[in-house]
Amino acid sequence: MTVAVVTGVGAVGSFGCGRAALAEALRTSHATVSEVDRSGGYHLPESARTAALAAGADLAAWVPPSAGRRMSPPSKLAVAAARMALEEAGPSTPAAEDGLTEVVLATAFGPASFTERLLRTILAEGPESASPFLFTECVANAPAAQVAIACQARGPNITVTQREAGALIALGRAASDVAAGTVTRALAGAVDETTPLVHAVLDRYQALSRPSAEGGERARPFDRRRSGFLVGEGAAVLVVEDQAAARAREAPVLARVRAWGSGFDPTASRVSWGRGHEPLARALRRMLDRAGLSPRELDLVVSGASGSVAGDRLEAHTLHAAWGDDPLPPVLAPKAVVGEYGGGQLAAAVLAATGAEFGPTPGFEVFDPDLRVVPHAGGPLGGPRRVLVSGLAGGGAAAWVVLERP
């Protein structure tokens, strides 16, 4: 078995394009939010109004308009992030140069805008008006396929659809295949777009943060007053390759992927989080056992906590159950900045593993005695040796990855 390492990060989100833009947003704890278009009539009058949208991101440097016109929004986001990641991984990594490159991308909702447009056309104008272009770009694996075409990645092409756990499942799969030597490198990550319809439906499920007494909508991870998450969109793609090969070509090794694993909470409802923290903690411990690690050896948690009432509760209880009587290490909750979906947490986790500075957790002010988690309040993190990245999904799935400083 070889060792899988991360040598490149590409990210697009409401924070802008690239690792530097993301790092600045995380350092300053600044969430860029905008009003969601409500003109479609999908929203209820008192619904949430904002999201961390990536609509303003200028992707032309990575996706020429002549190519982008044949892509759905998620495909463009994914291709841009993949090219950013390959650029960072070094000039000697054109994907088709040697060996096989795998693509593993996660998406929660797929190309939602194209699917909606196609269905609207079918319903309003009849099925014979359906556009073949919209159809081919509305399949969930369109972004992964477009990345393969753009980067000439001829290895396995895999799309994971497991909501909030998908990005970590994708990274685990990529690391597993690189470590096993079945592929030379992998482009792994997540992509999602948030349409007004997606926003409205999430709101109807009471998943989104609502306007508070202080005004505005705030995601408040782990806070007792949390009322829901900030939905985001964007893409994050990592270059994962063999450590020896990366060192041989003097590539920047950002993090080692030390462990990965997943579990399921069968008490979860179809759309929300359950209360099965004990089995999830056992699954997390099994993952650590397989890697020869104990919770005490983890210096930092990059939590998937988002401000979700049930999701944060399950996250906190799972962490406490896994750590037992030991205190938790520092806990980050980057989704308060980057939003839920679109891979922002994944890219933030790699930055955390490299020792990046994180500002205080936005929205956290009131301790929740049920959760017993005080997320990072800002200041230096001390260069963590090992970082646990956690992703618990509505519906029951869960995934974890341990990143290690090289």
Partner 1 sequence: MASEARDRRRAVVTGLGAVSACGWGVAALRAGLRSGRTAIGPFQRFDHRRHRTHVAAEAPPGPPPWFVRGPRWERLSLADRFAVFAAREALGQSGLAAPLGERAAGVFFASSTGGLLESERYFARLLPPGPRPPLRWMASQEINGPGDAVARDLAVTGPVQTLSSACASGALALEAALAAIRSGEVDLAVAGGSDSLCEITYAGFNSLRAVDEAPCRPFREDRAGLSIGEGAGVLVLESLDHARARGAVSLAELAGAGGSCDASHMTAPHPQGAGAALAVTRALADAGKGPGAIDFVNAHGTGTPLNDVAEFAGLESALGPRAREVPLTSTKGVVGHLLGSSGALEAVATVLGLCDREVHPTPGGGRVDPEIHARLVLETPLAVPQARAALSTSLAFGGCNVALVLTREE
Residues 276-305, interacting with partner 1 (CB under 8 A): 276, 279-280, 282-283, 290
Q: Is 265 in the site for partner 1 (CB under 8 A)?
A: yes
**Residue pair 334/361 in contact by the 8 Å Cβ criterion:** no
Shortest Å distance, C-beta 157 to partner 1: 4
Residue 385, Ramachandran bin (φ over 0: left; ψ between -120 and 50: alpha; else beta) = alpha
Shortest Å distance, C-beta 127 to partner 1: 4
Pick from 308, 321, 332, 307: nearest CA to 276: 321
Cα torsion 252, 391, 211, 366 to 10°: value is -90
Q: Is 103 in the site for partner 1 (CB under 8 A)?
A: yes
Pick from 322, 326, 314, 302: nearest CA to 387: 302
Give the footprint of partner 1 on residues 245-264 (CB under 8 A): 261-264
Give the footprint of partner 1 on residues 181-200 (CB under 8 A): 182
CB nearer to partner 1: give 118 or 238: 118
Q: Return d(Cα 304, Cα 374) in angstroms, integer.
A: 14
Looking at 119, 248, 366, 377, which residue binds partner 1 (CB under 8 A)? 119
Q: Is 314 in the site for partner 1 (CB under 8 A)?
A: no
41 exposure class (CB count in 10 Å sphere: 0-12, 13-18, 19+) = exposed
CB nearer to partner 1: give 141 or 345: 141
Give the footprint of partner 1 on residues 124-143 (CB under 8 A): 124, 126-128, 130-132, 134-142
Q: Is 154 in the site for partner 1 (CB under 8 A)?
A: yes
Q: Is 319 in the site for partner 1 (CB under 8 A)?
A: no
CB nearer to partner 1: give 78 or 403: 78
Q: Is 315 in the site for partner 1 (CB under 8 A)?
A: no
Shortest Å distance, C-beta 282 to partner 1: 7
Shortest Å distance, C-beta 286 to partner 1: 8
Shortest Å distance, C-beta 264 to partner 1: 4
CB nearer to partner 1: give 182 or 294: 182
Q: How many residues bind partner 1 (CB under 8 A)?
A: 77
CB nearer to partner 1: give 145 or 251: 145
Q: Is 110 in the site for partner 1 (CB under 8 A)?
A: yes
Q: Is 273 in the site for partner 1 (CB under 8 A)?
A: no
Q: Is 149 in the site for partner 1 (CB under 8 A)?
A: yes
Give the footprint of partner 1 on residues 206-245 (CB under 8 A): none
Q: Is 27 in the site for partner 1 (CB under 8 A)?
A: no
Q: Is 55 in the site for partner 1 (CB under 8 A)?
A: no
Q: Return d(Cα 301, Cα 362) in angstroms, integer.
A: 16
Question: Judged by CB under 8 A, which stretch of 16-24, 28-36, 97-105, 350-358 contacts partner 1?
Answer: 97-105
Within 8 A by CB and 6+ apart from 77, the residues are 12, 54, 57, 59, 143, 191, 193, 233, 234, 235, 342
Q: Is 161 in the site for partner 1 (CB under 8 A)?
A: yes
Shortest Å distance, C-beta 167 to partner 1: 13
CB nearer to partner 1: give 138 or 219: 138
Q: Is 146 in the site for partner 1 (CB under 8 A)?
A: yes
CB nearer to partner 1: give 20 or 180: 180
CB nearer to partner 1: give 61 or 271: 271
Give the contact letters, 362-401, x = binds to partner 1 (CB under 8 A), - = no: -------------------------------x-xxx----
Looking at 144, 191, 255, 305, which residue binds partner 1 (CB under 8 A)? 144
Q: Is 167 in the site for partner 1 (CB under 8 A)?
A: no
